[in-house]
């Protein structure tokens, strides 16, 4: 009985995402949007409750903490707040980063739960989360009205939508294939330059962080004295510490601008490696990292930015054998780092009421320009000097070879950079051709010798055929002689089957 065998090699196993109805899908999206808002608001309220509970003269109440958490939640979305004394636009970046991390994790979990894997499927998660944050932010700004702390409803609406939407997009980028879609549209040279630009930006920010750490370490007595002057209670010290931690990313971006050469300003105080204008600063321990006077060695910090530009050129030296392609990779890296520094500088500064320390400025345009130059100029030189070089003729005469036909497309004319090698190769080709002709001649001679040998065999066969057969009388005489010889020896002849004597 024949047995039917199953061909398992032709089967393709695919994992299909779970199927949800429209109502179930909407329920998951609404839960993610509302959950991200509630969790973020609760985190801000918990932080304020901790500060209020540890403060000496603060009155702690649940209603007061929840109402105070509303403007703080807007500040975490980087929405400027307005007071009677002016506008607070220089907002701490650490709460914003933590909020974006929370929203991104929520969006990623929602995508996993719904089984999303295509780029167009990400818009549902992003729109639901950003829409919820925008509605809540605009509503809080409307409810605040004309109180002590105010916010513009339109700015709150679009600001909350932008921050939460960006965080949600980053959260679902890998799960929905957004990263692969962007990378597929870039050629390898541009993709390598993009990665080098992000590495350069990260390295420059790291150098800025080292500069801030070095400044705090050098002025540690001043830093500890400012903490002591803030107040003897635990709550005041905790509040000052949280204030410094919240503005630490802002200080790192200011240090990044300083090591590049653009510097920063705090009211009338200007600090840069080439220019220093002193003046009073707020009594915040984090600001103790600022230089107090101009130093002759200040321009030395620019060596770090130049070294990073050299690193970019070294990373792009093997992108291609063509110098133009390597230059393009360095150019993409410079543009990427410049755009990133422009965004960071725009979010680090802002208005600081209307006092003597207003405004806090990190020059975004100048910073982006200097970053582009520090990456582009050393990077191009290193990529050109350290990269591989080829003859232009070999690059221009190269023919297009279809994929999969590399073995068939072999160049008959090999071009060497050295003329002596070319002449030796041509002589080898001539010698090989002569040897090939000699071998052919030898094979032809062997062929003719074989023919002669065959002719000799044919002649011998003809002679044997022409020979006359022996006569029967001669055969009988030979048999008689043999019989007589046997009798003389005393041997009896044997008989064969026919009865005839046989020897």
Kindly report, residue by residue over 378-416, the tens digit of the pLDDT. Answer: 999 999 888 776 554 444 444 333 334 444 444 444 444
pLDDT at 486: 59
Is the pLDDT assigned to residue 5 strictly greater than 50? Answer: no
pLDDT mean across residues, the chain: 79
pLDDT at 56: 66
Q: How far apart are CA 479 and CA 349, in angstroms?
A: 137
Place of tokens 């009896």: 492
Question: 3-class SS at 82?
Answer: strand
Kindly report, residue by residue over 203-218, the tens digit of the pLDDT. Answer: 999 999 999 999 999 9
Give the closest residue to 283 by CA, choosing from 232, 227, 233, 352. 227
Give the β-pairing of 360-361 and 494-495.
unpaired
Instruction: Phi first, then psi: give them for residue 361, nearest 5 degrees.
Output: -125, 130
Sequence-distant (≥ 6) Cβ neighbours of residue 83 within 8 angstroms: 148, 149, 150, 353
Domain ranges (residues) in the chain: 20-185, 187-390, 417-455, 472-502
Place of tokens 């870039």: 186
Name the pTM for this structure. 0.73
Kindly report, residue by residue over 457-472, the tens digit of the pLDDT. Answer: 554 555 455 544 554 5
């Amino acid at each position: 009985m024949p047995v039917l065998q199953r061909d398992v090699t032709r089967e393709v196993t695919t994992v299909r995402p779970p199927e949800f109805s429209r109502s179930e899908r909407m329920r998951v999206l609404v839960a993610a949007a509302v959950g991200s808002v509630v969790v973020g608001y609760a985190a801000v309220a918990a932080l304020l409750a901790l500060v209020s509970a540890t403060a000496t003269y603060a009155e702690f109440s649940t209603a007061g903490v929840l109402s105070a958490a509303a403007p703080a939640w807007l500040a975490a979305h980087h929405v400027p707040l307005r007071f009677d004394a002016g506008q607070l636009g220089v907002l701490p970046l650490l709460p914003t980063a933590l909020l974006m991390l929370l929203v991104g994790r929520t969006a990623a979990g929602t995508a996993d739960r719904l089984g999303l894997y295509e780029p167009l499927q990400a818009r549902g998660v992003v729109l639901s989360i950003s829409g919820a944050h925008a509605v809540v932010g605009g509503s809080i700004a409307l409810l605040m009205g004309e109180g002590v702390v105010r916010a513009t409803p339109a700015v709150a609406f679009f600001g909350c939508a932008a921050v939460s939407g960006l965080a949600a997009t980053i959260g679902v980028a890998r799960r929905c294939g957004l990263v692969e879609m962007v990378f597929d549209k870039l050629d390898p040279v541009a993709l390598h330059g993009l990665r080098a630009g992000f590495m350069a930006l990260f390295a420059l920010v790291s150098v800025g962080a080292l500069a801030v750490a070095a400044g705090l370490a050098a002025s540690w007595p001043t830093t500890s004295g400012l903490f002591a002057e803030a107040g003897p209670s635990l709550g005041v010290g905790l509040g000052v510490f949280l204030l410094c931690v919240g503005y630490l990313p802002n200080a790192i971006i200011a240090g990044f601008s300083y090591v590049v050469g653009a510097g920063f300003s705090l009211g009338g105080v200007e600090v840069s490696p080439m220019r220093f204008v002193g003046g009073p600063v707020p009594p915040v321990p984090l600001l103790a990292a600022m230089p107090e006077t101009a130093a002759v060695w200040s321009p030395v910090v620019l060596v770090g930015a130049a070294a990073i530009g050299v690193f970019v050129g070294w990373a792009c030296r093997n992108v291609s054998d063509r110098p133009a392609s390597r230059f393009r990779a360095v150019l993409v890296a410079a543009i990427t780092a410049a755009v990133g520094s422009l965004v960071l500088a725009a979010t680090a500064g802002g208005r600081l009421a209307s006092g003597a320390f207003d405004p806090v400025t990190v020059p975004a345009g100048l910073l982006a320009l200097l970053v582009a130059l520090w990456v582009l100029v050393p990077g191009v030189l290193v990529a050109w000097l350290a990269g591989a070089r080829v003859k232009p003729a070999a690059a221009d005469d190269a023919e297009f070879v279809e994929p999969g036909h590399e073995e068939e497309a072999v160049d008959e004319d090999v071009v060497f950079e050295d003329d002596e090698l070319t002449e030796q190769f041509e002589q080898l080709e001539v010698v090989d051709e002569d040897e090939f002709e000699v071998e052919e001649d030898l094979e032809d001679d062997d062929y003719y010798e074989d023919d002669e040998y065959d002719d000799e065999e044919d002649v011998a066969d003809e002679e044997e055929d022409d020979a006359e057969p022996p006569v029967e009388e001669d055969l009988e005489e030979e048999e008689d002689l043999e019989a007589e010889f046997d009798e003389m020896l005393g041997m009896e002849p044997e008989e064969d089957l026919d009865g005839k004597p046989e020897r």
